Amino acid sequence: MPIERNPILMIKGIKDAQFIEEFLMLYRNKVYRQSDLLRLIDWKISLKLNNINQYDTLFEDHYLQSFRIKICCNELPTCANLKKRKPDLYDEDWKCNFCKIEEETFDHFWKCSKIQNVVQDILKRLKIF
C-alpha cells in the first residue's frame, strides 16, 4: 500500500492525537470530554495558540506550557480557586486584588474593569498572531 502523505506529517499527526488523548484523560480535564463541547474545540488552533510542544525539554518551556494549560483548565491561582484548595488559610471575604469589589474568579479576572486595558491589549495581540 503506497503512502499518500508525507511520513513526517503523518507521524506528527499521530503524536498530536496521542497528546490530545492524554490531555483529555486527565481528571482535571474531564469537562472537555463532553461530546457537545468536544466538537466545538479546534484542537489544531488550540495546540498552535498554546504552542504546546510535547518535545520541549527546557524548564522555561515547561513552565510556560504549564501556565497555558492552567489557563485552559481554569486552574490559575485566583482567590476563588485558592479558597477551594485551602479554605482554612484564605479569608472568605477577600475580593479581587485589582478592583476590590467582586470575588476574584477566573471569569472576573478577564472582565475586571480595572484591567480591561491590559485584557484588550492581549486580545489585540492575539488577533495579529
Instruction: Report the alpha-carbon distance of residue 35 to residue 18 in Å, rounded.
Output: 18
Task: Check whether residue 4 and residue 59 sit in a common domain.
Answer: yes
Instruction: Give 81's contacts (C-beta < 8 A, 6+ positions apart).
Output: 74, 75, 106
Task: Check whether residue 123 and residue 98 sit in a common domain.
Answer: yes
Quick check: is 86 in a domain? no
Task: Check whether residue 66 and residue 96 sit in a common domain.
Answer: no
Task: Check whether residue 96 and residue 122 sit in a common domain.
Answer: yes
User: Range of 109's domain?
Assistant: 92-129
Quick check: is 83 in a domain? no
- For residue 99, give the DSSP letter: T
The number of angstroms, rounded, from the C-alpha of 127 to the middle of its chain's C-alpha atoms is: 17
Give the per-residue pLDDT at 109.
86
Give the per-residue pLDDT at 2.
65
Give the per-residue pLDDT at 74.
79
Give the per-residue pLDDT at 104.
92
Residues of the chain with pLDDT under 70: 1-3, 49-61, 126-129
Task: Check whether residue 55 and residue 101 sit in a common domain.
Answer: no
Give the per-residue pLDDT at 98.
93
Give the per-residue pLDDT at 95.
93
Nearest 10 degrees: Cα torsion 54, 34, 119, 110:
-120
Give the per-residue pLDDT at 60.
62
Give me the number of domains the chain comprises: 2
Task: Check whether residue 3 and residue 64 sit in a common domain.
Answer: yes
Task: Check whether residue 54 and residue 101 sit in a common domain.
Answer: no
Give the per-residue pLDDT at 45.
72
Task: Check whether residue 70 and residue 98 sit in a common domain.
Answer: no
What is the reported pTM?
A: 0.54
